[in-house]
Structure 1
Amino acid sequence: MKKHGILNRELAGHFAKLGHTDQIVIADCGLPIPDGVPCIDLSYKLGEPGFITILNVVLDDLVVESAIVAEEVKQVNEKVSNELTSLLPEITYVTHEQFKLQTKNAKLIIRTGEISPYANVILQCGVIF
């Protein structure tokens, strides 16, 4: 049994298969999940687990070189916007509609219980060397 890192066996299995430039999504509980993209739903009640909590755990486990975020978060959800800016190395902003289209290319979507608006991010994997 693992002592550190992601304990969820589904997440750990998906993470082990990721390579450079692969993308994953961490989503609030309202983001539409595109057909054909695997989704691991961690939500267990409104607000739990929170988006930032899961983002921090994922960032501890994966090398992330860049991120894509809906530009609307800057105006509507300042708390999440500030957290994203402090945690992520490089952020590209797109409209929420473009963001939703981009999720179709993800290898995985992690659904949280987050209920604040635009609390979503696409993370692009980097390399460890």
Structure 2
Amino acid sequence: MKKHGILNSEIAKVLADLGHMDKIAIGDAGLPVPDGVKKIDLALTLSEPSFLSVLKVVLSDMKVEKVVLAEEIKQQNAVQLAAVEAALTEDEVVTYVSHEDFKSQLKDVKAVIRTGEATPYSNIILQSGVLF
């Protein structure tokens, strides 16, 4: 049994397989996952697990160089945005796109991790960096 890190075998495998500039997404319960994109469904009930709790665990195990968020989070979910910003370090470049553009970018991610989050625009794309 693993002693440290992410226990979910699907998430651990996806993260281990990432190369520089590969992307994954973490989404709320309603985020549509494009056909052909791997969905790792963690949702148990509405709000469980939360988007933020999953994001923090993934960030602890993944080198991220770029983050994509929907522009709408600024007005529609400022509390969640503040929590996301607090979870990030100054190393990640944050970009904002329309929610429609965000959804279109999902076709290029290696996997979408679905949470039980039930607040609007609680979705993020994480682009892998390198450790060296």
Question: TM-score, normalising length from structure 2?
Answer: 0.95
When the two structures are aligned, how many residues end up with a matched partner? Answer: 129
What amino acid does structure 2 have at the position aligned with 1:30? G
- Provide Cα deviations, 1:5-59, integer angstroms capped at 9, x if missing partner: 0001111111111011000000000010100000000000010000000000000
Q: Match for residue 77 of structure 2?
A: 77
Distance 1:55 1:6 in 2: 12
**CA deviation string 1:82-108 (max 9, x = no partner):** 122222322100000000000110001
Q: Any idea what SS the aligned residue of 2:33 has?
A: coil
Question: For the residues of structure 2 that align with 1:12 and 1:21, how far apart are their CA atoms?
Answer: 17
SS for the counterpart of 1:48 is: coil
Structure 2: runs of 5 or more not aligned:
none
- 1:55-70 residue pairs with structure 2 within 5 A? 55-70=55-70
TM-score (norm 1): 0.98
Contact 1:85 / 1:91 at 8 angstroms: preserved in 2?
Answer: no
The equivalent residue for 2:116 is 113
Paired residue type of 2:6: I
Tell me, what secondary structure is at the counterpart of 2:19?
Answer: coil
Q: Kindly report the root-mean-square deviation, in angstroms, between the aligned alpha carbons of the 2 structures.
A: 0.7
- State, as a whole percentage, how many aligned pairs show the same letter: 54
Task: Kindly provide the amino acid, as one letter, of the partner of residue 100 in structure 2.
Answer: E
Q: Distance in 2 between matches of 1:84 and 1:67?
A: 10
